[in-house]
Amino acid sequence: MNDQRSRIAERIASALPKGSYVNLGIGIPTIVANYVRPEDNITFQTENGILGFRGLEVGDNPDPDLIDAGKQPIKLLPGGSYFDHGLSFAMVRGGHIDVTVLGAFEVSIKGDLANWSDDPRGILGAVGGAMDLAVGARSVLVAMTHTTVAGTSKLLRECSLPLTASGVVTRVYTEYGTFRPTGEAFEVVEVCEGVDRKTIVENTAAPVTFAYQ
């Protein structure tokens, strides 16, 4: 599972536009910063009030007071800054974030995002700042495993959980491939190495099309 998470994060890092401002959510998104190349000039923002950081590297000494939104230790880059929640969310709501990378419980073919639940019988999680990020960022990338622990697809025709935002997801990255919600289906734009089309179709509870023959 850790290898899967790392590969998902690495693929997303390679897809980020050069020179962009990127917010990373909790879960798999937090490790995307570990795979970005310095020459790509990506500036990371975290909703708890930091701009300009990277993931820790071998030999770095973690500072317990310097963490991202997922409580992971990070390293401030030269020129990086700290600020309060008010300014952080002004950046998000003002449209100043190019890309946000979020985790999810479910995504629909319409690009609806569900990444929280108040059901005491199952998965839990507060909506937090995800609702602001989902509508404030110019592009929303989802990083998640393709299925639940029980083997149930997270890519659906319709989300069953409360929506964080509707029609916002640009791309979904899983261990099987990269998917684009079209409104009619999930279009597969990339198939991961070692995965075949049959596996994707059988494990996706929604129509699937392929962007290439």
Residue count (the chain) = 213
Query: Catalytic site residues?
Result: 47
Nearest in space to 123 (alpha carbons), one of 177, 77, 161, 96: 161
Alpha-carbon 176 to chain mean position:
15
Q: Which helix (H) or strand (E) holds 40?
A: none
In the predicted structure, residue 53 carries a pLDDT above the cut 80: yes
Euclidean distance between CA atoms 119 and 98, whole angstroms: 32
Euclidean distance between CA atoms 108 and 106, whole angstroms: 7
The whole-number pLDDT of residue 2 equals: 72
Q: Which domains does the chain have, with CATH numbers?
A: 2-210 (3.40.1080.10)
The whole-number pLDDT of residue 23 equals: 96
Q: Give, in order, the Cα–Cα distances in Å from 89 to each of 71, 200, 203.
A: 18, 37, 37
Reported as a single tens digit per residue, the pLDDT across 63-87 is 888 988 878 889 999 999 999 989 9
In this predicted structure, which of 130-134, 171-175, 209-213 has the lowest mean pLDDT?
Answer: 209-213
The whole-number pLDDT of residue 119 equals: 64
In the predicted structure, residue 170 carries a pLDDT above the cut 90: yes
Opening angle at CA 101, ends 187 and 83, nearest 5: 160
